[in-house]
Amino acid sequence: MIKKIITAIFSLEAKIAIRRFKPRIVGVTGSVGKSSTKEAIAAVLGSRFNVRKSMKSYNSELGLSLAVLDLETAWHSPLGWMKNLWAGLKVFWGKKFPEVLVLEMGVDRPNDLDRLLKVAKPNIGVVTMLGFIPVHVEFFPGPEDVVREKSKIIKAVPASGKAILNRDDEICWDMRELTGAAVISYGFSENADISASNYKISDDGISFKVSMDGANVPVRLHGAYGKQHVYAALAAIAVGSAFDMNLIEMSEALSLYKSPPGRLKMIEGLKGTRILDDSYNASPLAVTAALDVLESLQAKRKIVVLGDMLELGKHTVPQHKAVGQEIAKVADHLITVGPRTKFTAEEALAHGMTEKKIASFSTSREAAKYLEDLIKEGDLILVKGSQSMRMERVSEALMAHPEEAFGLLARQDDFWKKKE
């Protein structure tokens, strides 16, 4: 009840601020890549405009409202919420406000997006990737209902706005029929308005070529790994084009892009190892993307540390099994955390991995202790799992410089550090 009251208050403050200052709003939704896309868009637009973006993954109704007001959650502190309330009032009484808001919009349950759109209706709607089995499907009758919910962002874009859609995702691309706004597509497809080619990955990051309106420019993203970051950059360029920015200007701005914590960060590990930390969250689509990155990089041994993928409902068992088949093709060792990934381990065993190369644990801390003995120089360790599996604890335990965890790993604030 208290949370509902707090959410209602800050939602009202956010709506008043938007009504008064009339910023242009970019809304981002999808099943994977929302935070990375938000960061890339903010990097591009921030090179020319005064931009405010969602902090961390503030994508619920409360989180989005706090992002609009440039406030952070006070967690369980009544005094902190009172200070936030006063700070929120000062925002819409003040004289300064950003020209552009880049807001991440998440969906956990039916009608979530309706509540977000009542707070902030986007001039530009961006949809990342959805996939056949979207995240949070557990709380919907089926995958198509998740898609229907997320498509509301495109329906909400006015005719004078822009709908930015991933051309490579058929489910996403079908949303073009739902809007009267101009559609800008992006992807690796040659049919996309903003297209990528010549994708290359190395230990330093990724490079690719972007084509738009007959022009081509090279783009290099240092410290970013995987095609999901290419998609984030392409979406950002699509948004920038809607703001009349030119391709060279946008490609230069992307040099400032940094992948968010917990999203395929390459971290120096103990004993001369490398950690590919992707521990923020997990879905079948995101795990497959991470495995593609793992396969592309060179290493003496490749170790996958996978925690349960949650909120998949009736798809839980088949999707964990499907991931096991893919891991068997790529990994030298598989370490699982949680009861659901035991299906992953069983499937990896059935597809060629040996028992001595597979180990299963109940918690991430147990897995971390096992890995401290297992790892050797030259190993590349992929760490991934759903948020509540706390897989960042594995990465932190294996880091050569754990003092750098706050800037590199997810869930490093006091609230999460104290939470079991």
At 51-101, the pLDDT tens digits run 999 988 788 999 999 999 999 888 878 888 889 888 888 887 788 899 999
Distance separating alpha carbons of residues 366 and 382, to the nearest angstrom: 17
Q: CATH 3.40.1190.10 region(s) of the chain?
A: 2-256
Distance separating alpha carbons of residues 130 and 147, to the nearest angstrom: 7
Q: What is the pLDDT of residues 99-158, one digit of tens each?
A: 999 999 998 889 999 999 999 999 999 999 987 666 666 777 778 888 899 999 999 999
Superfamily of domain 265-418: Mur ligase, C-terminal domain (3.90.190.20)
Top-tier CATH class for 2-256: alpha beta
pLDDT of residue 130: 86
pLDDT of residue 136: 62
pLDDT of residue 75: 80
Which portions of the chain are predicted below pLDDT 50? none
pLDDT of residue 264: 93
If DSSP codes are grouped into helix, strand and coil, which group holds residue 2? helix
Question: 3-state DSSP helix/strand/coil percent for the chain, to nearest 5?
Answer: 45, 20, 30
Q: Are 258 and 405 in contact (CB under 8 A)?
A: no
pLDDT of residue 272: 97
Q: CATH 3.90.190.20 region(s) of the chain?
A: 265-418
pLDDT of residue 132: 64
Q: Collect all residues with Cβ–Cβ distance below 8 Å to 381 and sequence separation of at least 6.
A: 269, 273, 274, 275, 276, 303, 305, 371, 375, 398
Label residue 305 left, alpha or beta by phi (over 0 means left) and psi (-120 to 50 means alpha): beta
Distance separating alpha carbons of residues 222 and 233, to the nearest angstrom: 12
Q: Are 331 and 353 in contact (CB under 8 A)?
A: yes
pLDDT of residue 133: 60
Distance separating alpha carbons of residues 201 and 333, to the nearest angstrom: 23
Comparing CA positions, the residue from 340, 286, 312 lying closest to residue 137 is 312
Distances (CA, A) of 170 to 2, 129, 165, 190: 41, 9, 10, 14
Label residue 272 left, alpha or beta by phi (over 0 means left) and psi (-120 to 50 means alpha): left
Give the burial string for 267-306 (b: 16+ CB within 10 Å, else e).
bebbeebbbbbbbbbbbbbbbebbbbbbebbebebbbbbb
pLDDT of residue 345: 98
Helix axes of 316-330 and 284-296: crossing angle, nearest 10 degrees: 0
- The distance from CA 108 to its chain's CA centroid, rounded to whole angstroms, is 14
Q: Which two tokens stand for residue 352?
A: 């060629």
